[in-house]
Structure 1
Amino acid sequence: MKVRVKWIEGTAMLGESSSGHALVMDGPPEAGGRNLGPRPMEMLLLGMGGCTQFDVMLILRKARQAVTDCVVELSAERSISDPKVFTKIHAHFIISGRDLSEARVARAVELSATKYCSASIMLGATATITHDYELREVAS
């Protein structure tokens, strides 16, 4: 995997992925940014959210769960001194569907956290990562 990050101006930069996608990142206004895009550390957290949601949804599809929606809300704390690494991350899954098996959802979240989500496992080297979920039943 390769990516390219090109400086635009100030603290703005253009990230380009090897899969052909691009996005603007920027620093906060207090550091000279113009708030043109997410901060690089926000991108790391978004990447973890996408990675773990991908795993959970794949596992639940294979388990033939009738999922109609899946949202992952992540909250994180960072060290107050440099390097300001993540020290705590919590992922809260909100999974909606019909006749969902709580055991299968719990297992999917656990498998993502402990076996499949490369981003979670990598960030777990500096952060304590916790996960929970809630199920929302959707009428048939």
Structure 2
Amino acid sequence: MDKNKTTTVWTQKEQFESDNPSGHKLTMYATANEENKDTVGYGPKALMLSSLAGCSALDVISLLEKMRAKPKDLKIEVTGELTDEHPRYYKNVKVDYHFYGNDLQLDKIEKAVNLSVTKYCGVMEMFRQFATVTTEIHHHTS
């Protein structure tokens, strides 16, 4: 069974430094605190949305490379709607895939996104355990 381990250390006030299994570090902070507005780092809930985008992006680009259909660029926007009551968590999440290029192979793009969403992206599956997740694909010529 694979395991991941991170260590998070309190650095000051409402800021923490967390590592990941590769040893890289990032700063997390309480987003509600005005003192943290200039901090270079992430709020924990926003980081979850970034993890979802990153997980799916890695799948999609890898699949498209294998299909020889790599776009010029890919941007993923993830929007999460939090519950009103505490503990606040994402109840609705929308993932917008934006593909850029002049010769986009739309059928292969759709296949790669569908495989990521339904089969490969573990973060997407984790989100589905507590949120309604919707996706949309957008094509842009450049």
Q: Which residue of structure 2 aligns with residue 60 of structure 1?
A: 64
User: Structure 2: how far apart are the matches of 1:97 and 1:9?
Assistant: 45
The answer on whether the counterparts of 1:8 and 1:14 sit within 8 Å (CA) in structure 2 is yes
Deviations 1:43-87 (A, max 9, x none): 111000100111111111111014110000111101111221110
- TM-score w.r.t. the length of structure 2 is 0.90
Deviation at 1:9, TM superposition (A): 1.6
What SS does the aligned partner of 1:3 have? coil
Instruction: Tell me how many residue pairs correspond in the alignment.
Output: 137
**Overall identity of the aligned pairs, in %:** 26
Q: Which residue of structure 1 aligns with residue 36 of structure 2?
A: 34
Structure 2 unmatched runs, 5+: none
Q: Which residue of structure 2 aligns with residue 93 of structure 1?
A: 97
Q: Which runs of 4+ in 1 moved over 3 A?
A: none
Q: Which residue of structure 1 aligns with residue 7 of structure 2?
A: 4
User: Structure 2: how far apart are the matches of 1:84 and 1:97?
Assistant: 38
The answer on whether the counterparts of 2:80 and 2:92 sit within 8 Å (CA) in structure 1 is yes
Deviation at 1:90, TM superposition (A): 0.6
Q: Which residue of structure 1 aligns with residue 21 of structure 2?
A: 18
Matched, 1:103 2:103: no
What SS does the aligned partner of 2:51 have? helix
Kindly indicate which of the two structures has a greater share of residues assigned to strand.
Answer: 1
Q: Which residue of structure 2 aligns with residue 113 of structure 1?
A: 117
Structure 1 unmatched runs, 5+: none
Deviation at 1:137, TM superposition (A): 2.7
User: Structure 2: how far apart are the matches of 1:33 and 1:53?
Assistant: 33
Deviation at 1:136, TM superposition (A): 1.9
Partner residue of 1:134 out of 118, 124, 138: 138
